[in-house]
Structure 1
Amino acid sequence: MDWKSRLKFDVRSYQEMVVIPMKQISEYNKQLTYLKNNVVKEKEISKALPDIFVVVFQKLRETSEENQIMDCQERFFKDQIDIIHKHTEEKERRYEKLLQEEHAKEIY
């Protein structure tokens, strides 16, 4: 073997044994850092979730109570409107009856 072929073998061997594994290790380190950051973020989110749940549940309860109040008010006003309509209809019937009676008196 002459020195050129030996040099080619040594360079190839250095690429395979050192450079490629170093690149792979560097890539693994980047992925590890990314995953560690994600774990930290997930832990922060996990810690915040109970507090968020309490706030959302409180808002839901308040909204539910407000809706119940609105429903009661709506029923009350509808009932009042129905009462007014019934009184109005009754007065109109009485008025019509009086008109008919007056008209009947005029005819006789």
Structure 2
Amino acid sequence: MRSYQEMVVNQIRQMSEANQELIFYNNKFAIQQRLKTALEESFGVVSEKLRKTMEENKVVRQRTKMQHEQNKEEVDFQEQFLKEQIKFIHEARDEEEEKFEKLQQQQREKFVKQSTPNTSNTEEYRRRMKLQNS
């Protein structure tokens, strides 16, 4: 027959050790569960922040694209306006040059007429001279 020690005390000791082990693993499991819950909550918060940030970035990109298009249109409009102004200035300059050339030509023609002896003018001059001398 087995002894009381062997049958009862050893069994109680093993049960006590197993009970302590069970408490240890239960505590460890509870800690792991709290950690898991905290990580899931953190993950949820971070995921939500990421989603919001991505939405904000999308809005910012759209606004930036719209602003870029508006700026491009404005620059194109200003470029067209300046080209038209330059064209207008060139046309006005060309017109003024033509007027100036015509005026110069008229002045040359006038000078040539005055330089060349006109027979009627010469006769008129002689007649006046005769009248003065008489």
Could you tell me the TM-score, scaled by structure 2's length?
0.50
Distance 2:32 2:48 in 1: 24
Q: 2:48 aligns with which of 33, 49, 58?
A: 58
Deviation string for 1:10-57 (max 9, x for gaps)? xxxxxxxxxxxxxxxxxxxxxx9xx87x93544321121111111111
Distance 2:65 2:35 in 1: 43
Q: 2:75 aligns with which of 85, 96, 106?
A: 85
Q: For this pair of structures, how many residues does the alignment match?
A: 74
Distance 2:46 2:67 in 1: 31
Q: 1:100 aligns with which of 90, 93, 108?
A: 90
Letter in 2 for 1:70: V
Displaced runs of 4 or more, over 4 A = none
Structure 1 residue aligned with 2:35: 45
Q: Looking at CA atoms only, which structure, 1 or 2, has the larger radius of gyration?
A: 2
Structure 2 residue aligned with 1:71: 61
Could you tell me the TM-score, scaled by structure 1's length?
0.61
